[in-house]
Structure 1
Amino acid sequence: MVTWHTQSFRELAAPVADVLGARTAKDLEKLRIHTVGDLLRHLPRRYLSGTELTDLATLEAGDHVAVMAKVSSTKIVNGGRNRPSRLEVSLTDGRGYLAVTFFGREHLVEYWQRELAKGVRGIFVGKVGRFREQLQLTHPEFVMLNASGAIVGSSEKKQLIATMSRSAALVGMYPATAKLPTWKVAECCRLGLATLSGADDPWPDWVLDAADVMPLADAFAAVHQPRSLAEAHAGTQRLLFDEAFATQLTMAYRRADASTHTAIPRRATAGGLLTALDARLPFTLTDGQRVVSDTLFAELDRARPMQRLLQGEVGSGKTVVALRAMLAVVDAGGQCALLAPTEVLAHQHHATIRALMGDLAGGRLLGSPDVATDVVLITGSTPAAAKREALLRAASGEAGIVIGTHALLHEAVQFADLAFVVIDEQHRFGVEQRGVLTDKATARPHVLVLTATPIPRSVAMTIFGDLDVSTLDELPAGRQPVGTVVVDAALRPAWVDRAWQRVAEEVAQGRQAFVVVPRIKSSDEGIGVVDLAAELSAVQLAGLRVGMLHGQLPNDSKDATMAAFVAGELDVLVATTVIEVGVDVPNATMMVICDAERFGISQLHQLRGRIGRGGHPGVCLLISSALADDVVNERLQAVAATSDGFELAELDLIQRREGDVLGADQSGARSSLRLLSVLAHADVITQAKAIAAEAVERDPERTTPGFVDAVQSIEMLAAGDWLELS
């Protein structure tokens, strides 16, 4: 049971169903609205003053819109016997035109034509469609305005907008759905606003003064019932600050908490596992790997726990850097845990580390070097006997490195001396889950977070603000370039046939190929892995050894398929994104990504990073039938144009917003960033970070009720994201 310490947080955390009823609450879920706070932070896209016309050039097919425009012309087309008549209306903003069509019996059509007199302004709400290459609204809801901007008529929707117009000088146009047009969303917000007592503000007066923002209750009124655009802007600024401040306050308390803990220094020693590994590495470390390694060794030797994020391009060698740090810790007498988000990635880490270490991972086996240590794997599907053995070796300290999924968080997993925790893809785990693992140590362990998703500095500051950041931005010697080509399956279907021929040619040269599909089973949206693998085996790639891999296969089947592909026993692997990270097959030189528009920019870059890891250049083909969509085309062409993951990450952030990039929207979970854009609002974030630092100085014990609630709300959302993604 959550306990809120301030009335404002308690009121905003109330389920929206308590205010609006279960049916409306269900409809609001499509707008990511679950609580009263979500509802009141669902702000209008724009405000209409009764005189300002909508720029019709900004409309796009598929949008639910509310437009204000003038009637340019009307025309009745009689339907004939037993067929409805239709009214064809042309709207204008003075520059362009938008078609509107109504269907109905003759008397209704004539009534609509009288209401929609030429030159009269109105608000039209509906979904933008496309007919004969022209945008149009079909049967939109509408209200007409007289010369002074007042609503004409007395229907329910007209009454509502009239009420809004009387209580404020502006009418808000909200993001809406088919079931919830803008005026219904406005009514929901009005009812939500009425539930707030306005009795207390969650922040102390000194915070409001430092941020120069209005009280919270005033801010909600200002954005939903503004008397002017300036007032609406001021209200929005307060809500933006709240999002930034809650996040930065959480990060500041995490940093303060970390600084109070002590760790056991783990100094790297010569002549141990680290020295032995370096002597047998089949490649030369890059300058970046050496610099980051030196940083890690220095922090591991401190009495304060390391809290560091290591980000780097796909294939930049993060695993080797992490392994060298882990071996330094083992040399110093400690144990290490490597936490991976999926079983495929956990198995891949286990195989890669054991391959790099060779007999150094032999533990106490006969013939192993004296310095050798056990490297064990624990996942949810590990057979019972193997799991018992791995648990014993972890608890006894014989296993210097324990690799696993969130199964490592189970209370049965114990360590003799857990000194170092490495977490791969941090945004797939919540802070609470990270804490479960670190709490298994007798002293606070050092923590290193890895991510192969390049993170723009603005995101790192907001989401990973409790971690120091290191970056590997150069690829190891020997990595081959990967050429990327976009294939338009709709306009050039012959190119798709050529893609499969190209795969066969690559295999004929002794290489291997990945084929990536966004879904397991075929649907109206496209073919799935199962059907495509069967089709390729029988037709396009007949005679080749084609394997299939997806998340619903039994674990032993997945392991066997992946092992066969790594060993060269399969020519082509048709898979979902289970191969997105961590999979290392140097002989794989080609990748075909089907329905590429279904993937984000960073995900495409991740997938592409699975090829070109050996001695031959790679080829990646992005197949899409949706290139007529300008946004899709821009996204795919951007991936084809550059291999710079950081440049692509910035574009990804612009196109998909922060929640998508970090996984929240993809998981269905709610992001704490509803309004804030870490690119557009860097100044707000910077201001909030400074005020948050002062807040921790003033209240290090976290006794301010609003501060307690803010941190609790952020941690709850973080835990929710992890639960959805795990």
Structure 2
Amino acid sequence: MYTATIDAPIEYLKGVGPMRADLLKKELGIYTYAQLLHYYPFRYIDRTRFYKIAELQPELPLVQIVGRITGKELIGEKHKKRIVAKFTDDSGTIELVWFQSLKWVDEHVERGKVYIAFGKPNVFNGQFSISHPELETYPRPQTLAGNLTLQPIYNSTEKLKKRFLDSKGIQQLQRIVLEQHLREIPENMPAYILEKYRLMSKRDAMLNIHFPGSASALQLAQRRLKFEELFFLQLQLLNSKKLRSLKFKGALFNTVGHNVNTFYKEILPFELTNAQKRVIKEVRLDTQRGVQMNRLVQGDVGSGKTVVALMSMLLANDNGYQACMMAPTEILARQHYESLTGLLGDKLVKVAILTGSTPKKQRSKLHEALESGEIQILVGTHALIEDKVQFQNLGLVVIDEQHRFGVEQRAKLWRKNQIPPHILVMTATPIPRTLAMTLYGDLDVSVIDELPKGRKPIVTRHLYEGQRLRMFGFMREEIQKGRQVYVVYPLIKESEKLDLLHLEAGIEQLRYQFPLPNYQISIVHGQMKNADKNFEMQKFVEGKSQIMVATTVIEVGVNVPNASIMIIENAERFGLSQLHQLRGRVGRGAEQSFCILMSGNKLSKEGKVRLETMVKTNNGFEISEIDLQLRGPGDIQGTQQSGVLDLKLADLAQDQVILAEARSTIIELFDEDPMLDHPKNSLLKSYLNKKNQGITFDKIS
């Protein structure tokens, strides 16, 4: 006979069976008893309060009443069939009504018996009733799970509910597992860490997260399980950073030579900010340690990341290495190429570009020049990772907007040299500190937190639909001064047709307000062919059109210093980080620039906060913190797709203190016991060895 354990397949649990097991796997990804236990309630209902029937009010959300079933009858025919029971306490009578599961109700709900009825009170014809109440016998039987003062509520799905696995059904399965297997739940945190942070044991935490003995027991259980989630996430990240430094040697960039010195002293047309100097110094120190550098450079749009990247690449060239820079789109790659060649001219080093549209003839020449070492800096898109692209001696890889590249794509670049090249990741999307710690916890983080001198902060205004004529007048004034204007419309996949209509209606309105021949309008949206898109963008870049009407395709990748106004239509439909990115398209020249947020008159509370935030501050890091509070981490930086943040309980916006505690504990732990050889850390060592699939600590000594 099969004896189930905590890791047993879910079909062996009493009350599940093959059909329900199949649904639990497909709908919730639950394959074992242990996975079921890690499916936590999303809220709790206080079951300590009992109401009298005379106290009921229609606005009460959920109530529980102790009473007796004094009558029960089947009413109606076919689909109108229902069971109605009279439910009485010493203050009055209400009706309990069931439209489904009538056979079960008929057989199990008994006249004359005392029950606890729980549900939402409704009023019909002046009479209170509760539809599909939860019924429990009174008094409640004592179980391992206690008397449920706080009832757990679980997310379910329509398919699960049809098989009676609604919240109550899932709760019942949790109770069975805990009653039979609570003792088997292993402790996975070292005793000294539990003691230091006064954390509940794993068993007590699992029992109290599903069936809290009290509100304070629930809080302690949540704290323990949140700490554990964040602790193990950080343990993996910091361990992989440590393993990489043990495993991957890095090229030594010991010389600051002719290229860096000449560029800095003779070519660079402006003075570096202190923040840029600090980051370049951090790169210098990283590349002298003989270990592969993995550094993230965060900086707002226009903070000067490209110059930092160029000086880092020139440092690689000074030490006999090539460098490459990978961007997610052709437009952005071309922009980087033009920025680099604009700064360098044809002096110092040879810079080339490789994208999907590079002609075949040109491509084969480029491959040769790259292999011979003639090309010292190569800029490109995904084309750089093709097997045909071979470097003579690649020493540094710069990756822009890295969240748009998969892990495997990035790893292909590392394999293009015997000694893995140093990695410099750049992002213009400021990331909240807590998110950076979790998303990029295995990277060293640099922040460029000041803008170049002479940059005027962009003035942001929020206007409603009724103020549109005022907005047109302002556009006219700026165009007459020789400036250019962006007008951006949202484009959200679910409603592309509708959005395109908005875009077309907007263009008609603009053509009426800004007629030919005095005004030229460029139009760019995602449904255009690439060649047409590039033609329209080029027209705007060269100043041949005054107004660029676009969807968010211009969020990244167009640099027009003469454009001084960014108008964002339906601004309430954009996320904060997207609004901030779009605003960063202007303010690139010496002139005062403006961002105008147009919205409808009716705004949601969240929409209002977003637009007020944009008007109030230009600081990308401040904006990113508010964005995290509003949206949660799953929507930011594509983390849901990346699977990095598979957090079941912890919330990065709310649990920053717990995250900081977990991270600092691991840093101290690795300082004291780098290989986790001490017996007190044996649990952590076996966890990591399991996670690293055979790359054990003992093999990397």
- Correspondence 1:238 to 2:212: no
Offset of 1:45 from its aligned partner? 4.0
Summarize the Cα distance change of 1:351–1:171 in structure 2 as closer, same or farther, 3 Å threshold: same
- The corresponding residue for 1:363 is none
Residues 212 and 72 of structure 1: CA distance in aligned 2, closer, same or farther (over 3 Å): closer
Taking the aligned partners of 1:37 and 1:547, their CA distance within structure 2 comes to 58
Deviation at 1:498, TM superposition (A): 3.4
Task: Select 2:634's aligned residue among 659, 663, 667.
Answer: 659
Task: Name the CA distance, whole Å, in 2 between partners of 1:561 and 1:9.
Answer: 60
Judge conservation of contact 2:85–2:96 (CA < 8 Å) in 1: no
Tell me what 2:688 maps to. 707
Deviates more, 1:182-191 or 1:308-317: 182-191
Q: C-alpha distance in 2, partners of 1:596/1:164?
A: 56
Paired residues of 2:556 and 2:581 also in contact (CA < 8 A): yes
Letter of the structure 1 residue corresponding to residue 560 of structure 2: V
Task: Tell me if 1:173 matches 2:147.
Answer: no
CA-to-partner distance for each residue in 1:49-73, whole Å, 9 max, x for gaps?
Answer: 32449xxxxxxxxxxxxxx998877
Residues 645-654 or 282-291, more deviating = 282-291
Q: Using the alignment, how far apart are the partners of 1:408 and 1:17 within structure 2? A: 51
Question: Which of 188, 191, 202 is the equivalent residue of 1:203?
Answer: 188
Asked whether 1:374 is paired with 2:360, we answer: no
**Cα displacement (A) at 1:265:** 1.3
Trace 1:10-159 onto structure 2 (pairs within 5 A): 20=20, 41=38, 43-52=40-49, 89-91=58-60, 150-151=117-118, 158=134
3-state SS in 1 of match to 2:258 = coil
* 1:697 equivalenced with 2:674 (yes/no): yes
1:566 to 527, 541, 558: 541
Tell me if structure 1 keeps the 8 A contact 2:461–2:595: yes
State how far apart, in whole Å, the 1-side matches of 2:96 and 2:386 are: 57
User: Do 2:40 and 2:209's aligned partners in 1 also have CA atoms closer than 8 Å?
Assistant: yes
Distance 1:17 1:359 in 2: 72
Match of 2:301 among 314, 319, 330: 314
Change (3 A) 1:204 1:27: closer
Which residue is 2:596 aligned to?
A: 621
Q: CA deviation at 1:558?
A: 3.0
Seen in structure 2, the aligned counterparts of structure 1 residues 570 and 151 have a Cα distance that, compared at 3 Å, is: same
How much does 1:419 deviate?
Answer: 0.5
Match of 1:185 in 2: 167
1:420 corresponding residue in structure 2 = 396
The 3 A distance-change label for structure 1 pair 194 and 577 is farther
> Aligned to 1:621, what secondary structure does the other structure show?
strand
Residue 413 of structure 1 and its aligned partner are, at CA, apart by 2.5
In 2, the alpha carbon distance for the partners of 1:226 and 1:123 equals 28
Structure 1 residue 227 corresponds to structure 2 residue 213: yes
**What secondary structure is seen at the aligned counterpart in 2 of 1:678?**
coil
d(CA) in 2 for partners of 1:539 and 1:156? Answer: 60
Structure 2 SS opposite 1:308: strand
How far apart, CA to CA, are the structure 2 residues paired with 1:395 and 1:533? 51
Matches of 2:514 and 2:31, distance apart in 1? 49
CA contact (8 A) 1:520 1:576 kept: no
Task: Give the match's secondary structure for 1:590.
Answer: strand
Query: Which residue in the other structure is 2:468 paired with?
Result: 496
On the 8 A contact 1:550/1:558 being kept in 2, the answer is: yes
| Equivalent pair of 2:8/2:32 in contact (CA under 8 Å) | no
1:156/1:119 CA distance change after superposition, 3 Å: closer
1:369-403 deviation digits (Å, cap 9, x = unpaired) = xx33132223x444433443333333332221222
Distance 2:7 2:515 in 1: 62
Once residues 635 and 221 of structure 1 are traced to their aligned partners in structure 2, the CA distance between those partners, rounded to angstroms, is 40
* Residue of structure 1 in register with 2:460 after alignment: 484
TM-score when normalising by structure 2: 0.76
Query: What is residue 325 of structure 1 aligned with on the other side?
Result: 312
Matched residue, 1:464: 440
RMSD: 4.5
Cα offset, 1:257, TM superposition: 1.6
Any conservation in 1 of the 2:6–2:185 contact (CA below 8 Å)?
A: yes
Q: C-alpha separation between the residues in 2 aligned to 1:349 and 1:20?
A: 55
The letter for the 2-side match of 1:44 is P
**Cα distance between partner residues in 1 of 2:82 and 2:18:** 43
Q: 1:458-503: per-residue Cα shift (whole Å, max 9, x none)?
A: 3333322222222211111232221111123xxxx33234334433
Whether the 8 Å CA contact 1:485–1:621 is kept in 2: the answer is: yes
Q: Which letter does structure 1 place at the counterpart of 2:558? A: V
Structure 1 equivalent of residue 421 of structure 2:
445
Whether the 8 Å contact between 2:87 and 2:95 is mirrored in structure 1 is no
User: Partners of 2:532 and 2:637 in 1: how far apart?
Assistant: 30
* Corresponding residue number in structure 2 for 1:402: 378
- 453-462 or 193-202: bigger deviation: 193-202
- Distance in structure 2 (CA, Å) of the matches to 1:433 and 1:200: 39
SS at match of 1:399: coil
Against the structure 1 CA distance between its residues 534 and 179, is the aligned structure 2 distance closer, same or farther, given a 3 Å change threshold? farther
**How far apart, in 2, do the equivalents of 1:514 and 1:549 lie?**
11
How far the C-alpha of 1:202 sits from its partner, in A, is 7.5
1:293–1:612 distance in 2 versus 1, CA, 3 Å: same
Q: Distance in 2 between matches of 1:381 and 1:165?
A: 72
Determine the structure 2 residue equivalent to 1:262: 249
Structure 2 distance, partners of 1:689, 1:608, is 34
Q: Distance in 2 between matches of 1:324 and 1:332?
A: 13
**How far 1:93 sits from its partner (Å)?**
9.5
> Matched residue of 1:91: which SS?
coil
Cα gap change, 1:188 to 1:265, in 2 (>3 Å): same
Matched, 1:535 2:508: yes
Alignment gaps of 5+ in structure 1: 1-6, 54-67, 75-88, 95-103, 125-145, 361-370, 713-726
Deviation at 1:567, TM superposition (A): 1.2
- Indicate the residue corresponding to 2:262 in structure 1: 275
Structure number with larger C-alpha Rg: 2
- Corresponding residue of 1:247: 233
Counterparts of 2:616 and 2:32 in 1: how far apart (Å)?
42
Assess if the C-alpha contact under 8 Å between 1:511 and 1:588 holds in 2. yes
| Cα offset, 1:617, TM superposition | 1.1
Judged with a 3 Å threshold, the aligned counterparts in structure 2 of structure 1 residues 402 and 91 are, in CA distance, closer, same or farther, namely same
SS at match of 1:265: coil
Give the letter aligned to residue 245 of structure 1.
F
Q: Give the equivalent residue in structure 2 for 1:510.
A: 482
Aligned partners of 1:147, 1:514: CA distance in 2, in Å? 70
The CA distance in 1 between the partners of 2:354 and 2:369, in whole Å, is 11
Q: Distance in 2 between matches of 1:279 and 1:10?
A: 70
TM-aligned CA deviation for residue 192 of structure 1: 6.8
**Once the 2 structures are TM-superposed, how far is the Cα of residue 440 of structure 1 from its aligned partner?**
1.6
Q: CA deviation at 1:356?
A: 1.8
User: 1:611: Cα distance to partner?
Assistant: 0.5
315-324 vs 151-160, greater mean Cα deviation = 151-160
Residue of structure 2 equivalent to 1:59: none
Residue 518 of structure 1: SS of its match in structure 2?
A: coil
Q: In 2, Cα distance between the equivalents of 1:299 and 1:576?
A: 40
Query: Equivalent residue of 1:653, what SS?
Result: helix
- The answer on whether the counterparts of 2:84 and 2:96 sit within 8 Å (CA) in structure 1 is no
1:335 is matched with which residue?
Answer: 322
Deviation of 1:451 after TM superposition, in Å, equals: 1.6
Q: CA deviation at 1:610?
A: 0.8
The Cα offsets for residues 214-250 of structure 1, whole Å up to 9 and x where unpaired, read as: 5656544432233333433333233212321221111
Native 8 Å contact 2:571 2:597 kept in 1: yes
Aligned residues: 628
Q: 2:651 aligns with which of 677, 680, 687?
A: 677
Superposition deviation, residue 180 in structure 1: 7.6
- Aligned-pair distance for 1:586? 0.2
Residues 312 and 451 in structure 1, CA contact (< 8 A), matched pair in contact too:
yes
State how far apart, in whole Å, the 1-side matches of 2:42 and 2:92 are.
Answer: 26
Instruction: Tell me, yes or no, if structure 1 residue 647 matches structure 2 residue 622.
Output: yes
* C-alpha distance in 1 between matches for 2:365 and 2:358: 11
Tell me the percent identity.
34
1:554 has 2:529 as partner = yes
